Structure formats: structure tokens, C-alpha cells
Amino acid sequence: MMLGQLRVIYSAFRLAMLHWIADPQWVIPNVIAPFVFTFVALTLFKGAGGPFGLYAVLGGGMMGMWGNTLYSSGFAIEFEKWQGTLEDVMATPSHLLHVIAGKSISNALFGLTNMVAILVIASLIFRVDLGVASPVLFAVSIVLTLLSVSALGLIFASAFVLSRYTQVFANGLEFPIYVISGSMFPIALLPFWIHPASYILGPTWGIEAVRIATAESIVPTVFWVNLSIMVVITFIYVLLAGFLFSKVETKARRDGSLVEA
Amino acid sequence: MSIIRVFLSSAIFSFKAQFGWLYPPMWLTMKLVMSLSQMAFFVFVAQFLITTGHSAGPDLVAYIAVGNAMSVLSWNTVFSVINITSHDKWDGTLQLVLATPANRLPLFVGRAMLHVFDGMISVIIGLAYAALLFGVNFGNANILLLFAVVFLTAVAMAGFGLLIGGLSFYYRDPLVFANIFTFILLIFCGVNFPVQELPQLLQPISYIFPLTYGVEAGRKTVAGASLAEIAPLIGQMMIVGITSIVLGYFFFTTFERLARKTGSLESV
């Protein structure tokens, strides 16, 4: 990648970090939903033993990570609109995709802190044993899942350029993704016609890989198969986001619909 | 007469300010998705327990489905109502609202009223999902009584939304409160598990939320309870709801007085 493009990504990343530092209260809404869902699941699982506690805590942690990353990446364009800076960003010679990618990476970092917060809170309050059988595989699967969710967020972000209705969809899609990806239960429980939707979501494979990495009897082949499928899906997300960005950017410039969208 | 006019204007404009930009088909789509996804999430968590032999079965699914169908109204009556304050601040309309000579009580209460009906629609959609997708039996329910329970729960919860919205005037970003108070209801209000499952220290908190009584009344009505059987719950819920409105109005008027006195309306 060209040095100039990296500089754009870094600048967008830095600016997003500064925005967050200036207004850190937003960590509360980002953490509250996953925390509540984890609390409810752990209360329902109380006394069940077995893998239930781990399902709830890991699922909650992943939700903390996904919710923030997916929502914030998609919301990156809308935020520029609110601040009245989208036109300025579009007027620069930098590619919009690189600007949003920088923001997405910063959101992913916050997502990671959300996950840690959920894991710590849940394990302290509910005393769930968070023994991780393979810390290395666990870390690898977490980071790659985070990138996969960021890439999914980029697709949403491209749609934000065209329409403000995407905000409604991004809000409304958070919970369905928690359901479809089987964040706190095996996807085998979902109706069979939902399974294709589950399989095209990177997080579905990511959470499975994370669960395998924590299990005492790790099956490396299954772990790597899950992770590889997720990487392929993520790659497709990035290609799709790149294609969509070039299309919507041109359309918004041509139609002059950037601000009214 | 002018009180009714202020009440209706406040109800219509507050709702329009928040959702006027949304096409009705989009609004309906979101309602259909939101009502289903929250309920489905917890039902599948329950089915995880059931399929592994850790829970009895259909009773738990029905418990969770009806609880979530009732609680989904908190998106309208708590999240949206608190956000009226956010919109007033973001859009710069708070000053205009407070500059009018309109009676403050209908102005304050009216702003939540269309959200009550919006919330009722959400609950009806949720109950339909509970019956059609998760097999909840409504055969014993008095449907008219169930509508009344849903309406009164929505009114009482809008009162709670107004209370938090009133408090939020003192805060720069009420959206943060909106998020917190919409979600913690899932813990405290017996939506997915009985209040008695909470640590004893936390249980009293459940009874400051009108939804706790509304969810229980809704479940009992679905199971075939009569008006006489749920009347105490409804009575308690309305006391909590009305108290919330009175407190919210107190915070709202106090904020207005302070802001006028100190000239801090825009800086808050």
C-alpha cells in the first residue's frame, strides 16, 4: 500500500481517537447492551453448569466488540454529516474508503476494550471461570474477528453516503446479527432457512473459533477451518466495500446529493 | 380548550421531530425487526437450555416471549421519550419551546403521548410473533383486557420516560441515559426471569419500574386472569407511573426556572 494511503488511514484513526477521548461517555451505551444480555443469559443459565457460562460470557464479550465496531464503522459517515465535515472530507484527494478504514480501526480498538470490560465484569460478578486453553489462538481469533466485523461495518458505511435511512438499518441490524451469528447459543438451534444467513456472516465463524480456543480439548483443524472461512468472508467484505465506495462516491458527487442524503 | 390544544400540538410535533423523516414502510420494517430480534435472542438462549435438558420447556419459552413482547415498548416509551430532550437540545428547539407562554403541564406530558400508541403497536407485533413463531397459547386470554394492560403499561412507562427525560435536561447528552434505562429494564423487570432470581439487594429496585408490574399483568392476562385478579398490579403500576410524571414535571420546571435565572439554557 502506498505511504500516502497509510498516512490517510492513520490521520483518520488519530482523529477518531481524539474524538473519543474528548467525549468518553459513549463507552456506556456501547457496553450496556452486551452487559445486560450477558447478565440475563447467566441468570437463565444459573445452575446449569457445563459450557453455558462460557457461552454467555464469551458471547457477551463478542457482542460488546461487535456492537461498537459494526455500529461505529457504519456510523462514521453519518457523524461527518452531523459535524458538517463530510463535504470537506469528500473534497480532499484522499479516497473516502481509506478515511473510513482509519475510523473503523479505531472503532475496532474500542470494541476490543468493550469486550475486555464485559469479560472482566461478568467474571467478577458471576465468578465464571474464564480459563483459556490456548491464549495465542484465542488472541488470534479475537483480532481477526474484530477485523471481520470492521469490514462488515465498511459495507454499511458505504451505504450511509447514499441515504440516511442506513442509520436506521445499522441500529436495527445489531440484534439480528447477535441472533443469526449464534453469539450465545449454537446456530443449530436456528431454523434451517436462517443458516445460509449465518454462514455468510464472518462473526458466526469467529465466535466458533473463539469458543474452540477456550475449550480444554482444542481441535486445531476445526479451529483453523473456522478461522480460514472467516478470513475469506472478510476479504470478500473488503472487496465489496471497495466496490460500493467507488460507486456511491461517484453517484453522490454526480447527483449533488451528499448533504441531503 | 387551550390546554388540549397544547397537549395535542406537543404530542404531534415531538413525534414528528423525531420520526418525521422516516418513511412509514421503513418505520414498520424496523418495528417488525426490533420486536422479533430481541425476543428471538432470549428465546433461543432458553431453547439452548431446553434442548440440553436443563429446563422444562414450553413454559420457559412462553415466559420469555411474552415478557419480551411487553418490554419492547420501552424502546418507544423510554428510549424515544428520553430522546425528545436530546432532539430539543441538538436541534436548538428547546429555547423556542420554553419561550412560549404555553401551559407547561400539557406541554410536558403531551410530548410522550404518541409514543404510547407507537409502543402499543410494537407490543401487538411482539405478541403476534409470540403466538405465531413461538407457539404461545392465547386461547385463555381476554384480548380486550390484554389491550387495556398494554395501553396502561405504555402510559405508565411513558411516565417513567418523562421522569428520566426531565432529569436529562441537566445533562448534555440524554442519549446516554436513554441507552442505559432502556436496557437495564431487561434485568430488573422480570422480562426473562422472575424478579426473585435477582440478588436480594437488587430486588427492591425492580418495583420502581412500572414495567415490572406491566409484564406480570400481561403474563397473567395471557394465562387467563380476570380484571379483578390483575387489578392490584395495575393499581401499583399506575401509582408508580403517575408519581414518575409528577417528579419528571418537577425536574422539568425546576430546570426551566434555573436556566432562566442563570442564563444557562444553551450551555447545559
* Number of Cα atoms under 13 Å in the Cβ half of residue A191: 6
Query: How would residue A74 be classed by pLDDT, with cut points 50, 70 and 90?
Result: low
Chain B residues with beta carbon closer than 8 angstroms to that of A29: 175-176, 179-180
pLDDT at position A196: 95
Distance from CA of A3 to the nearest CA of B (A): 39
Nearest neighbour of A44 by CB, restricted to B34, B38, B192 = B192
Q: Which residue has the higher pLDDT, B58 or A106?
A: A106
- Residue A260 forms part of a structural domain: no
Say yes or no to pLDDT of B137 above 90. yes
Sequence-distant (≥ 6) Cβ neighbours of residue B199 within 8 angstroms: none
Share of chain A above pLDDT 90, in %: 19
What is the band of B66 on the pLDDT scale with cuts at 50, 70, 90? very high
Region A103-124: mean pLDDT is: 80
B67 or A175: which carries more pLDDT confidence?
Answer: B67
Instruction: State yes or no: pLDDT of B197 exceeds 60.
Output: yes
Question: Which residue among B22, B45, B51 places its CB closest to the CB of A184?
Answer: B45
Question: Poorest-confidence range of A20-34, A109-123, B26-40?
Answer: A20-34
| Backbone φ/ψ region at B224: left (φ over 0), alpha (ψ -120 to 50), beta | left
Model confidence band, residue A97 (pLDDT cutoffs 50, 70, 90): confident
CB of A103 within 8 A of CB of A10? no
Rounded to a whole number, what is the distance in Å from the CA of B248 to chain A's nearest CA?
22
Whether residue A32 and residue B180 make contact (CB cut-off 8 A), yes or no, is yes
Buried b / exposed e over A53-73, threshold 16 CB at 10 Å, is bbbbbbbbbbbbbbbbbbbbb
Q: How confident is the model at residue A162 (pLDDT cuts 50, 70, 90)?
A: low
Distance CA B211, CA B192 (A): 13
The residue-averaged pLDDT of B213-223 equals 96
Record the cell numbers describing residue A245, joined without a space: 465506495
CB A95 within 8 A of CB A5: yes
User: Most A CBs within 10 Å: which of B31, B37, B60, B132, as the mutation test of the A interface?
Assistant: B37
CA distance A56 to chain B (A): 9
By Cβ distance, the residue of A32, A48, A189 closest to B47 is A189
* Other C-beta atoms lying within 10 Å of the C-beta of residue A196: 9
3-state secondary structure B198-264: CCCCCHHHHCCCHHHHHHHHHHHHHCCCCHHHHHHHHHHHHHHHHHHHHHHHHHHHHHHHHHHHHCC
3-class SS at B192? Answer: coil
Residues contacting B43, CB < 8 A, separation 6+: B61, B64, B65, B68, B134
Q: What is the pLDDT of residue A15?
A: 87
Q: Is the minimum CB–CB distance between A127 and chain B shorter than 8 Å?
A: no
A35-58, pLDDT tens digit by residue?
888 889 888 888 776 678 788 888
Torsion angles phi and psi, residue B54, rounded to 5: -100, 0
Instruction: Give dist(CA B104, CA B226) in Å, integer.
Output: 38
Range of the domain at A117: 3-255
A21-30, A110-119, B196-205, B214-223: which range is least confident on average? Answer: A21-30
Answer with the residue of higher pLDDT: A43 or B210.
B210
Cα A70 from Cα B184, distance rounded (Å): 22
Q: Quick check: A35 and A125 in contact, CB under 8 A?
A: no
d(CA A3, CA A5): 5
Write out the residues of chain B at the interface with chain A, using a CB-CB cutoff of 8 A. 21-23, 26, 29-30, 33-34, 37-38, 40-42, 44-49, 51-52, 54, 173, 175-176, 179-180, 183-184, 186-187, 191-193, 197-198
* Rounded CA separation B122/B12 (Å): 19
Residue B214: is its pLDDT beyond 90? Answer: yes
pLDDT of the residue at A199: 95
**pLDDT band at A126; cut points 50, 70, 90:** confident
Q: What is the largest CA-CA distance in chain B?
A: 64
- The closest alpha carbon to B69, from B183, B181, B143, B150, belongs to B150
The better pLDDT of the pair B22, B34 is held by B34
The count of domains in chain A is 1
Q: What is the pLDDT of residue A92?
A: 86
Between residues B243 and B171, the one the model is more confident about = B243
Which of A19, A32, A44 to probe the B interface (max B CBs under 10 A)?
A44
- What pLDDT was estimated at residue A133? 81
Per-residue confidence band for B203, with pLDDT thresholds at 50, 70 and 90: very high
What is the pLDDT at residue B267?
57
State residue B158's pLDDT score. 93
Sort out which chain A residues have CB atoms less than 8 A from B22's CB and list them.
165, 168
Of the candidates A9, A145, A163, the one whose C-alpha atom is nearest the C-alpha of residue A70 is: A145
pLDDT bin (cut points 50, 70, 90) of residue A67 is confident
In the prediction, which pLDDT does B178 show?
A: 85
Higher pLDDT, B198 or A62: B198
Q: Dihedral of the CA atoms A41, A118, B68, B113 (nearest 10)?
A: 160
pLDDT reading at B194 higher than 90: yes
Asked if B176 lies within 8 A of A28 by C-beta distance, the reply is yes
Task: Select the residue from B183, B188, B195 to test the A interface by mutation, using most A Cβ atoms within 10 A.
Answer: B183
* Chain segment A190-242, per-residue pLDDT in tens: 999 999 999 999 989 999 999 898 887 777 889 999 999 999 999 999 899 88
Are the beta carbons of A29 and B175 separated by less than 8 Å? yes
The mean predicted confidence, pLDDT, of chain A is 82
Stretch A101-106: mean pLDDT: 83
pLDDT for residue A164: 64
**Angle of CA points A259, A111, A42, to nearest 5°:** 125
Residues of A in contact with B79 (CB under 8 A): none
- Indicate the pTM of the whole model: 0.87
Question: Is A48 touching B (CB cutoff 8 A)?
Answer: yes
So what's the pLDDT on residue A258? 66
How confident is the model over A141-169, as a mean pLDDT? 78
Q: How far is CA A82 from CA A75, A78, A117, A259, in A?
A: 10, 6, 29, 10
Nearest CA-CA distance, residue A2 and chain B, Å: 40
Q: Are the beta carbons of B48 and A55 separated by less than 8 Å?
A: yes
Query: For helices B174-188 and B143-168, what crossing angle results, to 10°?
Result: 140
DSSP A73: H
Amino acid symbol at A77: I
Q: Measured on CA atoms in the order B70, B74, B80, B81, is the torsion positive or negative?
A: positive
User: Which position has the higher pLDDT, B48 or B52?
Assistant: B48
Q: Which grid coordinates are listed for A228?
A: 480460514
Which is more confident, A69 or B31?
A: B31
The sign of the CA dihedral B34, B36, B39, B43 is negative
**pLDDT-above-70 percentage for chain A:** 89
Domain boundaries, chain B: 2-262
Chain B neighbors of A176, CB-CB under 8 A: 33, 37
| Optimal mutation site among A37, A82, A167, interface B, most CBs of chain B within 10 A | A37
